[in-house]
Amino acid sequence: MIKFKSKYIAVILCLYLPVEAAYYRWTDDNGKTHYSYSVPASKSQLGHVVISKQGLETEKVMSAEKKRQIKELADLRAMKKLQADKENKIKEFQAAEDNLLLSVFSSEKELVKAYDSKLQLAQVTIDLLKGRHKKQSIKLEVLEQKHERMVDIKHKQALEKQIDVVLDNLKIYQQAITENLIEKDKVKGEFETTLARFQKLMVKPASE
């Protein structure tokens, strides 16, 4: 049996169609090609080709699956572009940071000295706050002892107000101590990261 190619089938069908008619070529789930005056509603998502009365393809309608694949590909490309842009910005930022680091410190010794000064200053501040906190704690003990021995109501109430002020001061100093300890830890972490980066930048390539 002679097998006709699809374009020959299309030409033959044109001979039997009304002058104004057009027909459709579509493929079912099994891969079989069909020609008809309309695409079955149940197959509308599979895509089809509109063929004119002259046997020419006038329109191609993609299948829903093909559209989905194209969208996924476009989304993937967009995501890759965003990721590439993000990586480039990170590299640019790192390059700027490196240039700044090398312009500020000419040697590892200078860098260590600078961060040692920061850490020492942080510790001095913490010690100062702890000293004030201790003084307030001692003052609180004295006031509480007086309050226990006090009989006069007016004097007792006056002591209670002083105690409240001292308690507020203790909270303020404790919060300040905590914040400065956190800041000191951040400086330590920054120092370790910066030192490692500086050491890496100072290592010259073997070709140089």
What per-residue confidence (pLDDT) applies to 145?
94
Query: What confidence tens digit (pLDDT) does each residue in 124-176 have?
Result: 999 999 999 999 999 999 999 999 998 889 999 999 999 999 999 999 999 99
Give the domain range for residue 169. 105-202
pTM for the model stands at: 0.58
Question: Is 98 inside a domain boundary?
Answer: no
Q: Which residue has the tokens 């390059």?
A: 95
Tokens, residue 90: 């990170």
Nearest residue to 125 via CA among 171, 173, 190, 186: 173
pLDDT at 201 over 80: yes
**Cβ atoms within 10 Å, residue 165:** 14
Which neighbouring-strand residues pair with 19? Answer: none
121 and 185 both lie in a single domain: yes
- pLDDT tens digits along 88-120: 999 999 999 999 999 999 999 999 999 999 999
Q: What is the CATH number of the domain that holds 186?
A: 1.10.287
Residue 151 within any structural domain of the chain: yes
- Examine the domain organization and report whether 114 and 183 are in the same domain: yes
Alpha helices of 105-152 — where are they, by DSSP H? 108-149
Residues 116 and 54 in one domain: no
Please, which pLDDT band fits residue 3 given cuts at 50, 70 and 90?
Answer: very low
Predicted confidence (pLDDT) at residue 56 exceeds the cutoff of 90: no
Residue 77 within any structural domain of the chain: no
Domain count, the chain: 2
pLDDT given at position 205: 59
